[in-house]
Amino acid sequence: MYENMVFSAAFALYTAAILLYVWELASKRKVVGRFADYVTALGWAANTLALIMRYVSAGRLPLANGYEFLVAFAWGIVLFFLWVQYRYRFKSVGLFLLPVVWVLLAYIAVEMPSSQKMVSPLMPALKSNWLSVHVATAILSYGALALSFALAVMFLVKESCNQHNSRMAELCQSLPAMEVLDESCYRFITVGFFLLSLVIISGAIWAEQAWGAYWSWDPKETWSLITWLIYAACLHVRQTYGWRGRRSSVIAVIGFAAVLFTFFGVNYWLAGLHSYA
């Protein structure tokens, strides 16, 4: 019961933060944005407490089922967001990133059956130290890639405003310079791609121990590889052919769509060895 209350508090705080970021945009008052950052930090603290409470009740790291992964996924996204706000003070990024977090938690609150939220014993394949390495790395990777997605969308919005004299002029004025958005997106793709590589490597080692083969073309493995190839292509064409700006941002958006499908599409629509994840 208390864990549900803490989860609801995190959800409510993230929702309030989004509304505050909208208010900041409408009022052009920087103090509102700073307050929104503090509310987001409180939401992250509640998010952290929900994970700790699940750890205590389950007697293991809360990374073993869909509910736990989504709560941890949201935690990882906000962790990167808070670091960026502390380090760079990017304007308006919360307006584009926190809705991703909101959708993840809203899915838990509205769509996920109660049976999938309950603490359950680990399946034999999950009783491995590689569970912690593999899933924790995935959470950090997806958090970095979610931030790159938000920065890519911000770039595309800014570009559209500059080219078409959009009615969203106030929003565009609040966004960082296009060069800053492009370079920051690239940096977080690099971080997320490195971590995603570790996810695939650790998963292969774990698969060999659990199922006797490093790779079996399970749907989750296949879509993880597709996602990795998309981001590899993004980095390759940037370094080799100088693809920057719009082209790079479009690939970043496609890559994060693949990230989401790797979780939701594979777990709920495609049967495989990872259907429990």
By CB atoms closer than 10 A (0-12, 13-18, 19+), residue 142 is buried
pLDDT at 12: 97
Tokens 């495989």 correspond to what residue?
A: 272
Q: Output the pTM of the full model.
A: 0.89
pLDDT at 138: 92
For the chain of 277 residues, list the mean pLDDT of each consecutive stretch of 10.
90 96 85 91 97 89 85 95 88 91 93 78 70 88 96 92 66 83 95 96 84 79 93 94 89 95 74 51
Token output for 257: 């769509």
Of 194, 193, 161, 192, the residue nearest 178 (C-alpha): 161
Please report, for the chain, the start and end positions of each structural domain, with discontinuous segments joined by +.
Answer: 1-121, 134-277
pLDDT at 58: 84
Token output for 261: 């499908």
The dihedral sign for the CA sequence 10, 90, 99, 56: negative
Kindly report the three-state secondary structure assignment for every residue of 235-253: HHHHHHHCCCCHHHHHHHH
- From residue 42, alpha-carbon distances to 12, 32, 39, 90, 267 in Å are 10, 15, 5, 19, 30
Write the pLDDT tens digit of every residue in 79-132. 999 999 888 888 789 999 999 999 999 999 988 877 777 877 767 666 777 778
Please, what is the end-to-end C-alpha distance for the chain in angstroms? Answer: 23
Are 273 and 211 in contact, with CB atoms under 8 Å apart?
Answer: yes
Are 116 and 188 in contact, with CB atoms under 8 Å apart?
Answer: no
pLDDT at 65: 83
CA 204/CA 210 separation, integer angstroms: 10
Write the pLDDT tens digit of every residue in 117-144. 787 776 766 677 777 888 899 999 999 9
pLDDT at 225: 93
Angle in degrees, CA 210, 216, 222, rounded to 5:
115
